[in-house]
Structure 1
């Protein structure tokens, strides 16, 4: 069984690598010759409304699909070492392949109906992966994940119903009609669907909770698939965004970016810190998208997928070696035991911070410069500056606690980089985290952006990043030496560290309210009026009259005499 699982993992990895190579090469060719292919298959036509399955193969869809399949192949190879002792490894690999297939359907679909297939497939398989370990924590996290995403699914279903008036669901072909005022509700529903999938405020609580899934799933889900599905949908619908919708999306995404960066500085769970950094980068993508720079959002989407998958893989190796502890306070000084993992993790962290000439630098620095050149108000500008500083702050905090801090490990042994099954995929993603930023910038922006800025504005984000790194190191050095420092401000720290109480608001209060409503509805409707006039009531009525009809057909003389006398009485009365 173990041999079969390893063979299945390797076969899937090579298959996805071939698809990735083909998609990337085809994408570059299409961009050079400026071509796009759309395949449609009409399988139902009702009253001039055509239900069509469509697939679009353009530069954007093929490039994104190539990155998704490449990261998925690395994750499958990595899973061969990380999940080696699991009894249900075959089930895990099939779930990951189903997840990749759902994401592929969503990427190449320009039709809302076929998008819904991939959209719901992502939701279903992600629920199965989050509850994979089958304990109470995983079950609660899975329910929070799937119920939060159902809000977006309802928005997508309602938008499909509204697009009936346009006669088609292919938003590429009818995008000229979408910006009209009559379609404002439709676009708003699509934006809500994207916000739930990309975990923007107030739907942010499910993303850190989904860390209950195995770490290889986190590397796939939180880099290039589930959470980026909402961003990709907004990229496709970007031409339909009105000014009011864009302004609301800009404010929400910047608040999400700031909130997640602030929460990560108070979090001690290694995977949740990286999940909150993913949430922050999703806010960056949606904020620049709402300003109208679609290509920049897509550029950051691709570069972020590489270094974030690498970051999760490094975190998984660290957790695996310290006997499944995820608290960074139980780590420390791992750079002496795991130099290769430490190098890859620091590389991914520096790419996340936008260190010059790494993948994150080319996209993030360009986004910040373009954003500050726009007519932003003071609040949005300050949110950008503070979020950039907080990103570097929690990154250096993570490095301090796990890599170079005090030796906090207990009586553990055999901490090393010996598992090549887990380190080889990390090396492959490290090459991407170093080189793909410059390569993609040459491909996607052959003509240079002309950005004129003052010296202060040009160096502002560099200075803020250096200040954030210094604050992150010094504050955590103080907190280690004075452990009771945070108890004096417990209320504020609890509020900021719990994502502004969003997990509490998303579960406890709403669950009590919904349970009361559902309980009253069950008593009044399901056991009340529905019993009287619903299925049970109709059953009693039909049973009664069927019995009477059966009596009439029994050919009894008493019955006919009663009917004759009744008819005679009616005639006499008339």
Structure 2
């Protein structure tokens, strides 16, 4: 216990030190680069590079803050687990891999962190050793290995330039087409964008502290962070391609969360939508705002996961929101934390999510984007509000469907939630006050009240939504609730072909069907040849005539 508290002290003290160091580097516009060359091959330089700028350090400080809260939270949540030491080692390896990814601007060194994130996330998803965890872990591992493959292609292509540094590669104008396509595909797999979206809801089989760390601030944001670093290459056909994919993912996540009843999967769908929102802002040229929104989203989404973990523990493992209700009476403190993070997710005014998301929406409207894309973008923002209010209705307004247990056993869990609550309320305003004072709000005032129109329209839509659930449009309900059948085409559709081939080979070889296919046909062949040779031996006139005609035909052809 004392060792784990020391680990928490290390993470929180590192957060304080790194946040001040990043502000110092930002104010004085400083960048520190450590370079150690360890191998030369012809003109290629293999080196270990560590980059210290304000962007990498402030991101690393947020990762350390969430990691400290997750370790503190796990003291209660994982207290009865017999493999808790293995859990802490896996989480620590995950944080180490994320640190490599953030601080190393070299593609080969970055591969250490990228590959570590995928492997350790697989170990954490299958931590409970259940059939569901194993299938979810295989799906997570498969898609993340695909992203590793694209990144390895990118590294191999960079071999032509003799170096793998960000700043060096951005110089070449012929760098863009093929290599940047590999970078985009690697980023899409990590960020769970369409068509690689099915692994993120499946990864909710992991313990809740893992979901809070992995699926809010580390693994899923790695692809967005990579796109922010290579933002100057996004142009032309790649821009149009990514806009279509992000809008598809936002709609997919919105409808998936709207028809989902599992609490953790709803939060996973919201994470998928927010990642698409960040990538969309990068495509609009707001990569700096996208990075600020990435930091703010990491904090309030971690708080959302941790509060949901307390609810799930209190309900003895039940994750269905239809069994919950009137939680403000049963757990007022954690319900307040949950609602504040939910308001930040919706972009309610003066919460932390408002400061970045509202400005991104304003700049997206003021940019020269297609009006059709803008309608889809606003509809996806509206879907975020709808499924958040649906979750609020089921968990806080409707009657109690199941009693809440273990009300007073979560001291460390409550402390970690209160720490994240403080930053969820203040981080957005603090970042914009301390880091940037160039952005001003120039949107018309009457557009600010559109969110209240959405609130009013929600209650009209909620009745029609309940009406739709009574099998009026059963196929649409099933279609949107199953992520447009994307998990089927990502896993079952592919695996079923191999399973069918394996079953055929099993029946052919192991179950003695080889005798039917091979030996029986061979017996038929022997019977036919035996019958023919017996006819020759018995001086059959027909056989002799046929042989004579055949012989004469051969003689006429060749002679």
- What's the TM-score, normalizing by structure 2? 0.87
Aligned partner of 1:392 in structure 2 is 385
1:470 is displaced (CA, Å) by 4.0
In the alignment, is residue 469 of structure 1 matched against residue 425 of structure 2? no
Aligned counterpart, 1:306:
299
Taking a change above 3 Å as real, the CA distance of residues 241 and 519 of structure 1, as seen in their structure-2 partners, is: farther
Contact 2:125 2:136 in 1 (8 A): yes
CA distance in 1, matches of 2:250, 2:459: 21
> Residue in 2 aligned with 1:111?
106
- Residue 489 of structure 2 corresponds to residue 498 of structure 1: no
Structure 1 residue matching 2:264: 3-state secondary structure: helix
Aligned CA-pair RMSD = 2.0
Residues 164, 514 of structure 1: alpha-carbon distance in 2 compared, 3 angstrom cutoff: farther
**Alpha carbons of structure 1 residues 485 and 279: separation in structure 2 relative to 1, 3 Å:** closer
Partner of 1:30: 25
Note the C-alpha offset of 1:66.
Answer: 0.2
Q: How does 1:73-112 map to 2 (within 5 A)?
A: 73-112=68-107
Corresponding residue of 1:189: 182
Q: Does 1:129 align with 2:124?
A: yes
Give 2:435's aligned residue. 444
Asked if the contact 2:316–2:405 (Cα under 8 Å) also holds between the matched residues in 1, the reply is no
1:11, CA displacement in angstroms? Answer: 1.9
Please name the residue that 1:236 is paired with: 229
Residue deviations 1:60-85 (CA, integer Å, cap 9, x gap): 00000000000000010001011111
Rg comparison, structure with higher value: 2
Whether the 8 Å contact between 2:22 and 2:54 is mirrored in structure 1 is: yes
- Aligned residue for 2:116, secondary structure, equals helix
Partners of 1:168 and 1:521 lie apart in 2 by 48
Is 1:365 the counterpart of 2:358 in the alignment?
yes
Tell me the equivalent position of 2:417: 426
Could you say which residue in structure 1 is the equivalent of 2:514? none
**Map of 2:510 onto structure 1:** none
Supply the distance in 1 between the matched residues of 2:68 and 2:121 (Cα, whole angstroms): 18
Gaps of 5+ in 2: 507-559
1:363-412 CA deviation, whole Å, 9 max, x = no partner? 10001001111111122101111011111110011111112212111xx4
Tell me, what secondary structure is at the counterpart of 2:160? helix
Q: Matches of 1:33 and 1:486 in 2, distance apart? A: 61
| Among 246, 256, 277, the residue aligned to 2:239 | 246
Question: Is the 2:60–2:99 Cα contact (8 Å) retained in structure 1?
Answer: yes
What TM-score comes out, normalization by structure 1 length? 0.85
Taking the aligned partners of 2:411 and 2:463, their CA distance within structure 1 comes to 34
Distance in 2 between the 1:276 and 1:108 partners? Answer: 28
Q: How many residues are matched?
A: 506
**3-state SS of 2:484 partner:** coil
Q: CA 1:38–1:520 in structure 2 vs 1: closer, same or farther (change >3 Å)?
A: farther
Distance (whole Å) between structure 2 residues aligned to residue 517 and residue 185 of structure 1? 35
Alpha-carbon distance in structure 1 between the residues aligned to 2:147 and 2:318: 34
1:338–1:183 distance in 2 versus 1, CA, 3 Å? same
SS at match of 1:117: helix
In 2, are the aligned partners of 1:314 and 1:426 still within 8 Å (CA)? yes
Instruction: Measure the CA separation in 2 of the matches of 1:225 and 1:129.
Output: 14
Instruction: Establish whether residue 486 from structure 1 lines up as the match of residue 481 from structure 2.
Output: no
Does residue 510 in structure 1 map to residue 456 in structure 2? Answer: no
Identify which of 183, 199, 204 aligns with 1:206.
Answer: 199
Residues 329 and 56 of structure 1: CA distance in aligned 2, closer, same or farther (over 3 Å): same
Question: 2:88, 2:108 → 1: CA distance?
Answer: 27
Q: Helix, strand or coil: the match of 1:127?
A: helix
C-alpha deviation, 1:247, in angstroms: 1.8
Take 2:501 and 2:15, find their aligned partners in 1: how far apart are those partners?
49
**What is the SS of the residue equivalent to 1:406?**
coil
Q: Which residues of structure 1 form unaligned runs of 5+?
A: 1-5, 523-574
C-alpha distance in 2 between matches for 1:300 and 1:306: 10
Residues 346 and 473 (structure 1 numbering): CA distance in 2 closer, same or farther, change over 3 Å? Answer: farther
| C-alpha distance in 1 between matches for 2:432 and 2:278 | 16
**d(CA) in 1 for partners of 2:197 and 2:335?**
29
SS of match in other structure, 1:84: coil
Describe the SS at the equivalent of 1:172: helix
Within 1, Cα distance between the matches of 2:398 and 2:460?
Answer: 12
Cα offset, 1:269, TM superposition: 0.1
Superposed displacement of residue 475, structure 1: 4.7
